[in-house]
């Protein structure tokens, strides 16, 4: 072992942590092992076969037949930029539903592209109102309508069909954020009429961060090709990406080979378990978590009808606030090797966000967290 390697290993914290925050989640050992496979070329036929398989499995997860379904070489935020960047031009009207941090981020991205944004706001912790969204869509007649399926900052599960239908009635393109929902909830993009969607690998897929699964409908691809000016991002232009992720496999950029090995294995594990079984496992773990936390005085932020099973937001009891919620979370991390997330924006200091995503959506992980809380809050 070289001195450099030895020094690096000494600086790394090798103690496994239970990641119960809003992401990343813990990674299955088989996924980690897949990343350690020997390197091959990104145009090697053996690698292209894996890439074909990844794209096919992503279509199944997204509930779509879209040919342009791919693992973008970026994080979920890059996936957001890709969807907006290909569909929004300067002067385009855009209606965005905002009930958390990531709806706000959508507004920022669309505005930077020159879109004329109309916000439809809802209280954080509540779903977007179908009528309010439909009224704004009918009034503005936008080019694009966008909203979040699973709002990571609040734990809200947003119904999709009615808003998507209102958008389609005026010919708008629908962009859906599926970063937290993919592989934990059923996603049916074709059935819902969604044109572009993006996710991340580090949440319910239980894969290392760094890739953004994304998909574009045929009409979205056509729109991207009919722009008055090219997409402002060369890297995320789906007209160019289609050359590599389509049938021709023309060089665009060097794909992150090891990350795609990992995603392939993560998707295999999802397929092996079955999405319905996986979704039921997430619901079961969330129910156990909420029941256990109630004994300490934690209350859910979101009504049961619209509560995400993979990301639970809970209002803090006075005992935690008095002790300092950040200090309690730090004790969980330092003394028990358990990470939970704090609130963002207006909910900072008011809630915790506890993720039970992918590999972590298991009752034994809930029990471990509750045991640690009992020691810290006794």
Helices (H), the chain: 3-11, 29-35, 45-62, 76-87, 101-112, 130-140, 161-169, 189-192, 218-225, 238-245, 257-273, 275-294, 318-323, 325-336, 363-377
Torsion of CA 138, 148, 308, 363, to 10 degrees: 160
> Tokens in use for 159?
């119904």
pLDDT computed for residue 246 by the predictor: 86
Give the Å distances, CA to CA, from 234 to 210, 239, 241, 292: 19, 9, 9, 49
CB within 8 Å of 17: residues ≥ 6 apart: 333, 337, 338, 339
3-state secondary structure of 69: strand
Tell me how far apart the alpha carbons of residues 309 and 301 are, in angstroms, rounded to a whole number.
13
Query: For residue 155, which of 32, 53, 44, 299 has the smallest C-alpha distance?
Result: 299
Give the Å distances, CA to CA, from 365 to 70, 105, 286, 353, 358: 32, 31, 11, 15, 12
Starting at the earlier edge strand, list the strands of the sheet with 351-355: 18-20, 338-342, 351-355, 311-315, 299-300
3-state secondary structure of 308: coil
Tell me how far apart the alpha carbons of residues 234 and 243 are, in angstroms, rounded to a whole number.
13
pLDDT computed for residue 1 by the predictor: 47
> What is the DSSP secondary structure assignment for residue 74, as one 8-state letter?
S
3-state secondary structure of 195: coil
Query: For residue 189, which of 58, 99, 50, 74 has the smallest C-alpha distance?
Result: 58
Q: What crossing angle do the helices spanning 275-294 and 363-377 adopt, rounded to 10°? A: 20
Q: Are strands 338-342 and 351-355 parallel, antiparallel or unpaired?
A: antiparallel
> What is the DSSP secondary structure assignment for residue 182, as one 8-state letter?
B
Q: What angle do CA 308, 184, 216 make, to 5 degrees?
A: 105
Tell me how far apart the alpha carbons of residues 146 and 92 are, in angstroms, rounded to a whole number.
13
Structural domains in the chain?
3-25+274-377 (3.90.1150.10), 29-270 (3.40.640.10)
Partners of 48 in beta bridges:
none
Q: What crossing angle do the helices spanning 218-225 and 238-245 adopt, rounded to 10°? A: 120
- Give me the tens of pLDDT residue by residue for the chain, a chain 378 residues long: 455 555 555 556 668 999 999 999 999 999 999 999 999 999 999 999 999 999 999 999 999 999 999 999 999 999 999 999 999 999 999 999 999 999 999 999 999 999 999 999 999 999 999 999 999 999 999 999 999 999 999 999 999 999 999 999 999 999 999 999 999 999 999 999 999 999 999 999 999 999 999 999 999 999 999 999 999 999 999 999 999 998 788 999 999 999 999 999 999 999 999 999 999 999 999 999 999 999 999 999 999 999 999 999 999 999 899 989 999 999 999 999 999 999 998 899 999 999 999 999 999 999 999 999 999 987
Tell me how far apart the alpha carbons of residues 364 and 273 are, in angstroms, rounded to a whole number.
18
Tell me how far apart the alpha carbons of residues 312 and 300 are, in angstroms, rounded to a whole number.
7
> What is the DSSP secondary structure assignment for residue 143, as one 8-state letter?
S
pTM for the whole thing? 0.95
Tell me how far apart the alpha carbons of residues 10 and 16 are, in angstroms, rounded to a whole number.
15
């Amino acid at each position: 072992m070289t001195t450099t390697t030895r020094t690096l290993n000494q600086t790394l914290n090798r103690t496994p942590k239970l990641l119960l925050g809003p992401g990343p989640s813990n990674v299955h050992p088989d996924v980690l092992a897949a990343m350690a496979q020997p390197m091959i070329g990104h145009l090697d036929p053996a690698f292209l076969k894996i890439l074909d398989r990844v794209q096919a499995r992503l279509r199944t997860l997204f509930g779509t037949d879209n040919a342009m379904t791919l693992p973008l070489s970026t994080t979920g935020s890059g996936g957001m930029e890709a969807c907006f960047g290909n569909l929004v031009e300067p002067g385009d009207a855009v209606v965005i539903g905002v009930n958390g941090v990531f709806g706000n981020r959508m507004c920022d991205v669309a505005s930077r592209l020159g879109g004329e944004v109309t916000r439809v706001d809802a209280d954080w912790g509540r779903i977007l109102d179908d009528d309010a969204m439909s009224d704004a869509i009918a009034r503005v007649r936008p080019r694009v309508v966008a909203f979040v399926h699973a709002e990571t900052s609040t734990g809200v599960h947003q119904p999709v069909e009615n808003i998507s239908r209102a958008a389609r009635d005026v010919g708008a393109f629908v962009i859906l954020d599926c970063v937290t929902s993919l592989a934990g909830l059923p996603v049916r993009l074709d059935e819902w009429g969604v044109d572009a969607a993006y996710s991340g690998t580090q949440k319910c897929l239980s894969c290392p961060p760094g890739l953004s699964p994304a998909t574009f409908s045929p009409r979205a691809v056509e729109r991207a090709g009919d722009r008055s000016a090219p997409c402002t991002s060369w890297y995320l232009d789906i007209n160019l990406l289609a050359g590599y992720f389509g049938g021709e496999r023309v060089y665009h950029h060097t794909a992150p080979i090891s990350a795609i090995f990992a995603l392939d294995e993560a998707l295999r594990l999802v397929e092996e378990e079955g999405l319905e079984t996986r979704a039921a496992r997430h619901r079961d773990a969330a129910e156990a978590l909420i029941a256990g936390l109630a004994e300490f005085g934690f209350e859910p932020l979101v009504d049961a009808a619209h509560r995400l099973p993979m990301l639970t937001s809970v209002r803090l009891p006075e005992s935690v606030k008095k002790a300092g919620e950040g200090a309690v979370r730090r004790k969980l991390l330092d003394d028990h090797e358990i990470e939970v997330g704090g609130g963002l924006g207006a909910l900072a200091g008011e809630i915790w966000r506890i993720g039970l995503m992918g590999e972590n959506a298991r009752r034994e992980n809930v029990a471990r967290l509750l045991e640690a809380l009992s020691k810290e809050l006794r």
